[in-house]
């Protein structure tokens, strides 16, 4: 990309018009800034210009020189023509040369607007046979599940090669051969860790001819009649904006939206190729009611009457608090708002929670205590400008791939990278990364150890601490208990390394902490988050650009589900249910008496179901039979319910246990908004009609509530968006109309005309002063012993998502990682005579699974890692349901297990 950091303004004439630009800009850039279009082919704004295809030729009138405008710097006083007979002739000749070696060059399988080359051939009336001669003949490359490479359509412009290298940092695709035989050769090694291709599709998106084409797209008919819709990815919390192309209610292609605020022109394999689940045959298409153990089809009326009657019976006989609901981090803001409103106003209980309890409940609890707000303090775009990044408990490149790219970009810009993780994740291979390989569950110790060193070496920010914080002395006293020697004993991190990390972090001007479930899913998860907040405050690294404490939220709308009150202790906007004024405010708005008692959390709901105290459950879009800890216990508890209704798009493992299953529409079949990990509320379009008789979740909730005597009559999702803005202070300015563009708005947005908040706590914390917390290290509740000598830790993989209800039904993603595996260190494998591929029995105090071994030094000795996605060898059969006392998050990250080779 051209660097135009200089601010000196230049003036020149282009096509007879006086225009201005910045010194250092190319002619192409100045023309573009001034609305003058110059055709390009090998050029992309995001790539270093090469001038190779010579389509962007312009004429410098001073000496009649034809020059490539993408490489030529604009100069003060220049006179440039971008269109004349000479230029057109030269461009046409270049195009004729480009087609001269190819067979099928114009048969692009995409719409003309996206097939740039076909468009140019037409515009310049190119004679395809102007140059006769030998044509290149190469085989098509088709042996991967995502895209094809048809060399006959390739013009060797190299955009794919540069996109892979410059945008994705992979260099997985390159030119091979010489002269006439030169061709593009993509890698076909499908292993993420050993190979280099991530099947992100950046090369496919950058190809101007259709030589690289998504398999989803191929043989799907005339490309000219596709409908284009702007949507937000349904997988991770980054909230990538993308365009979905559809025809006849089917998803035919996906590409990143160039106007996307969070992801620029990048998406990952899941967003690019993983939406085919929407059109899978096994989508739930009609309501189902269980009779004598089997599901039978029912009409909506029959199913909703049954749900309404059963829930009403339970409410009348056992009270409102004997019913509980799980809302969903994959549903829209509007649906989450409505679900909690239904549970609170129609059912009369605060027993409403969702899967944030299993991932970032400790983040919300910790950051609210320390800063007054439980969200990511800074924005994704700021990460690349940090000068130090501390990543802990986040396998960023796999779980949040676009943020992973931003971290890598920061390192390329010269940032220091510190990674604290028991596993050797991909980020540790980055240049000069300092890897702190702590023992699982010892995070309070190493973070307080860093603070100890920062205090000892006088590296702390006294001004910030004095003017912006409170309770420093208590925290300082507790930090003195963590000298490096003790920290080394607890964590296994060498004291010299710890000292080095402390100095790097404390000496940074802009240090950013990124974290995820690796530090939150612990019985002391809240303490871990408080330790990160202590660390940021003692060095003044919060409240300014490119710094902060940044939880990377997991599911696409987990931030929104929390914001909109799908939590047992708060209404939307974190308005506490125990505060009388809040209760009164919502009672007035909803015209219903509300419960003042906080409700039960996810694991508590399940436990109370087991005890018979929770008798009815309504689960919308969640799959606790894979996601929750100690699955054997979860199954017993759910089976103990008097009535279970599940609303989902597929027959999940949880839906199998239900009495009634309600078919919901997917995100592509509805409208609404999602809030991404950086607090950005983004609206998206409906792309296809609901599949079968399925309905959007908000409509189902409204109809059920109305049947239960609490009418919820909304004519559109937008009406709910506006109601949210009315009752939720941090969303005040986030009306349907104001987010009706591609940028969305970042909360807090507390006035009707506010433009959103890029980073939090500037000048003042949300709670006034930032609060330090004294902390003492507590070991995980279950550590290895003679009976269970291994530590089990769990996490995500790049190609799958959560309980695999969607990615498991995506053809390509599932082919990449079709089965579960357990990572085991080579030393342990050797001592137990285990090879990769061997079947192992992994047993904890709660259950046993049989699973294939993957021998790798990514995990340290005596630790094993299992991705939590697979129901057939569910890691959560083994995990521990013990809770963090504050956030009530279970200790999913550490359990003790034993291993033996299966018979
Ligand atoms: S799919 Fe992504 S990683 Fe693979 S070759 Fe293309 S750009 Fe490179
Ligand atoms: S999974 Fe995350 S990174 Fe991938 S496309 Fe979706 S939002 Fe973007």
Distance 266 CA to ligand 2 centre (A): 9
**CA 78/CA 615 separation, integer angstroms:** 79
Ligand 1 atom, smallest distance to 187 CA: 5
Closest C-alpha among 285, 299, 276 to residue 694: 285
Distance 778 CA to ligand 2 centre (A): 35
Distance 173 CA to ligand 1 centre (A): 7
Give ligand 2 pocket residues (Cβ under 6 A).
Answer: 233, 235-236, 238-240, 263, 267-268, 270-271, 401-402
Ligand 2 atom, smallest distance to 238 CA: 7
Distance 516 CA to ligand 2 centre (A): 16
pTM greater than 0.85: yes
Mean of the per-residue pLDDT values of the chain? 93
The predicted structure's pLDDT at residue 5: 46
Q: Which ligand is nearest to the CA of 170?
A: 1
The predicted structure's pLDDT at residue 500: 98
Nearest CA to ligand 1 atom 2: 200
The predicted structure's pLDDT at residue 1: 38
Residue 635: CB atoms within 10 Å: 18
**251 — phi, psi (to 5°)?**
-75, 125
Q: Do 329 and 340 meet the contact criterion of CB atoms below 8 Å apart? A: no
Q: Which long-range contacts (CB under 8 A, 24 or more apart) does 405-410 make?
A: 405/167, 405/168, 405/169, 405/266, 406/380, 406/381, 407/383, 407/514, 408/169, 409/383, 409/384, 410/383, 410/384, 410/385, 410/386
Q: Which ligand is nearest to the CA of 257?
A: 2
- Grouping H, G, I as helix, E, B as strand and the rest as coil, residue 682 is strand
The predicted structure's pLDDT at residue 659: 98
Nearest CA to ligand 1 atom 3: 197
Please confirm whether the linkage preceding 114 is cis (ω < 30° from 0): no
**CA 846/CA 897 separation, integer angstroms:** 10
The predicted structure's pLDDT at residue 19: 97
Helices assigned H by DSSP within 212-299: 269-273
**CA 551/CA 902 separation, integer angstroms:** 39
List the beta bridge partners of residue 353.
Answer: 326
Q: Do 615 and 314 meet the contact criterion of CB atoms below 8 Å apart? A: yes
Residue 723: CB atoms within 10 Å: 17
Distance 797 CA to ligand 2 centre (A): 13
Q: CB under 8 Å to 319, separation ≥6 — which residues?
A: none
The predicted structure's pLDDT at residue 187: 61
Ligand 1 atom, smallest distance to 167 CA: 7
Helices assigned H by DSSP within 100-217: 116-123, 159-162, 202-206
**CA 491/CA 454 separation, integer angstroms:** 18
| 503-518 pLDDT tens trace | 999 999 999 999 999 9
Ligand 1 atom, smallest distance to 204 CA: 6
Distance 198 CA to ligand 1 centre (A): 6
Distance 397 CA to ligand 1 centre (A): 14
Closest C-alpha among 541, 581, 625, 643 to residue 802: 625
Residues of the chain with pLDDT below 70 are 1-7, 102-114, 133, 186-195, 219, 221-223
Distance 438 CA to ligand 1 centre (A): 33
Nearest CA to ligand 1 atom 1: 199
The predicted structure's pLDDT at residue 144: 84
- The DSSP call for residue 236 is B
**CA 563/CA 576 separation, integer angstroms:** 12
Residue 818: CB atoms within 10 Å: 10
| 785-801 pLDDT tens trace | 999 999 999 999 999 99
**599 — phi, psi (to 5°)?**
-90, -170
Ligand 2 atom, smallest distance to 267 CA: 5
The predicted structure's pLDDT at residue 6: 47
Nearest CA to ligand 2 atom 5: 271
The predicted structure's pLDDT at residue 391: 98
Supply 111's token pair. Answer: 């719409």
Give ligand 1 pocket residues (Cβ under 6 A).
Answer: 163-164, 168, 170, 172-173, 186, 197-203
């Amino acid at each position: 990309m051209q660097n135009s950091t200089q601010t000196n303004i230049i003036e020149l004439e282009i096509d007879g018009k006086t225009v201005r630009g910045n010194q250092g800009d190319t002619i192409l850039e100045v023309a573009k800034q001034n609305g003058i279009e110059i055709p390009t082919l090998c050029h992309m704004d995001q790539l270093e210009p090469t001038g190779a295809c010579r389509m962007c030729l312009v004429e410098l009138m001073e000496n009649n020189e034809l020059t490539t405008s993408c490489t030529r710097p604009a100069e003060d006083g220049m006179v440039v023509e971008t269109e004349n007979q000479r230029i057109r002739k030269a461009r046409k000749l270049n195009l004729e040369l480009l087609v001269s070696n190819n067979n099928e060059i114009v048969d692009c399988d995409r719409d003309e607007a996206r097939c740039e080359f076909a468009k140019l051939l037409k515009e310049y009336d190119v004679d395809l046979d102007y140059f006769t001669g030998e044509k290149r003949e190469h085989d098509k490359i088709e042996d991967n599940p995502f895209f094809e490479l048809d060399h006959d359509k390739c013009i060797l412009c190299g955009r794919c090669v540069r996109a892979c290298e410059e945008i994705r940092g992979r260099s997985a695709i390159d030119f091979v051969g010489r002269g006439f035989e030169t061709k593009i050769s993509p890698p076909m090694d499908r292993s993420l860790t050993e190979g280099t291709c991530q099947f992100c599709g950046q090369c496919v998106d950058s190809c101007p001819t259709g030589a690289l084409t998504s398999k989803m797209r191929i043989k799907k008919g005339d490309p000219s009649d596709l409908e284009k819709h702007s949507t937000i990815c349904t997988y991770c919390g980054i909230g990538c904006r993308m365009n979905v192309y559809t025809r006849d209610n089917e998803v035919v292609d996906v590409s990143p939206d160039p106007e996307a605020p969070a992801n620029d022109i990048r998406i990952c394999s899941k967003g690019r190729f993983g939406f085919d689940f929407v059109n899978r045959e096994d989508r739930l298409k009609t309501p189902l009611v269980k009779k004598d153990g089997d599901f039978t089809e029912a009409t909506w009326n029959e199913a909703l009457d049954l749900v309404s009657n059963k829930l009403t019976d339970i409410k009348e006989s056992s009270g409102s608090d004997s019913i509980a609901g799980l809302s969903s981090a994959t549903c829209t803001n509007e649906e989450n708002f409505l679900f909690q409103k239904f549970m609170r106003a129609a059912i009369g209980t605060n027993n409403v929670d969702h899967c944030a309890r299993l991932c970032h409940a400790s983040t919300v609890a910790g950051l609210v205590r320390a800063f007054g707000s439980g969200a990511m303090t800074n924005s994704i775009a700021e990460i690349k400008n940090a000068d130090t990044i501390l990543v802990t408990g986040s396998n960023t490149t796999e779980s949040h791939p676009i943020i992973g790219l931003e971290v890598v970009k920061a390192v390329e810009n010269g940032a220091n990278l510190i990674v604290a993780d028991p596993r050797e994740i991909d980020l540790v291979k980055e240049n000069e990364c300092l890897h702190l390989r702590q023992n699982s569950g010892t995070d309070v110790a190493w973070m307080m150890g860093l603070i100890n060193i920062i205090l000892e070496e006088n590296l702390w920010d006294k001004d910030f601490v004095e003017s912006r914080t409170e309770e420093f002395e208590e925290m300082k006293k507790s930090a003195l208990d963590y000298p490096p020697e003790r920290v080394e004993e607890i964590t296994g991190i060498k004291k010299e390394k710890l000292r080095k990390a402390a100095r790097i972090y404390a000496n940074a001007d802009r240090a950013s902490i990124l974290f995820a479930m690796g530090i939150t899913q612990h019985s002391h998860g809240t303490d871990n988050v408080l330790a990160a907040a202590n660390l940021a405050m003692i060095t003044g690294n919060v409240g300014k650009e490119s710094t902060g404490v940044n939880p990377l939220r997991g599911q696409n709308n987990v931030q929104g589900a929390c914001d909109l009150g799908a939590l047992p202790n708060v209404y939307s906007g974190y308005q506490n249910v125990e505060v009388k004024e809040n209760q009164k405010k919502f009672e007035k708005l909803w015209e219903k008496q509300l419960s003042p008692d906080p409700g039960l959390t996810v694991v508590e709901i399940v436990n109370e179901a087991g005890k018979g105290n929770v008798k009815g459950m309504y689960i919308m879009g969640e799959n606790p039979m894979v996601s929750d800890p100690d699955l054997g216990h979860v199954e017993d508890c759910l089976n103990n319910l008097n009535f279970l209704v599940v609303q989902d798009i597929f027959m999940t493992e949880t839906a199998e246990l239900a009495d009634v299953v309600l078919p919901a529409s997917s995100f592509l079949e509805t409208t609404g908004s999602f809030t991404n990990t950086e607090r950005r509320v983004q609206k998206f379009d409906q792309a296809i009609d609901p599949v079968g008789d399925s309905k959007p979740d908000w409509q189902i909730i409204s109809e059920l509530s109305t049947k239960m005597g609490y009418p919820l009559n909304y004519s559109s999702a937008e009406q709910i968006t506006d109601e949210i803005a009315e009752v939720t202070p941090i969303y005040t300015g986030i009306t349907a109309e104001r987010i009706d563009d591609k940028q969305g708005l970042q909360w807090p947005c507390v006035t009707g005309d506010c433009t959103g908040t890029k980073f939090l706590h500037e000048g003042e914390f949300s709670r006034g002063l930032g609060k330090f917390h004294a902390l003492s290290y507590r070991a995980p509740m279950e550590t290895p012993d003679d009976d269970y000598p291994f530590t089990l830790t769990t996490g995500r993989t790049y190609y799958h998502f959560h309980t695999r209800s969607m990615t498991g039904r995506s053809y390509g993603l599932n082919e990449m990682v079709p089965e579960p595996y357990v990572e085991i260190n080579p030393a342990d494998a050797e001592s137990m005579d285990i090879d990769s591929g061997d079947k192992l029995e992994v047993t904890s105090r709660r259950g046993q699974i049989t699973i294939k071994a993957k021998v790798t030094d990514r995990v340290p000795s005596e630790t094993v890692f299992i991705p939590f996605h697979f129901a057939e060898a569910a890691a959560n059969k083994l995990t521990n349901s013990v809770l963090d006392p504050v956030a009530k998050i279970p200790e999913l990250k550490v359990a003790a297990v034993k291993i033996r080779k299966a018979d």
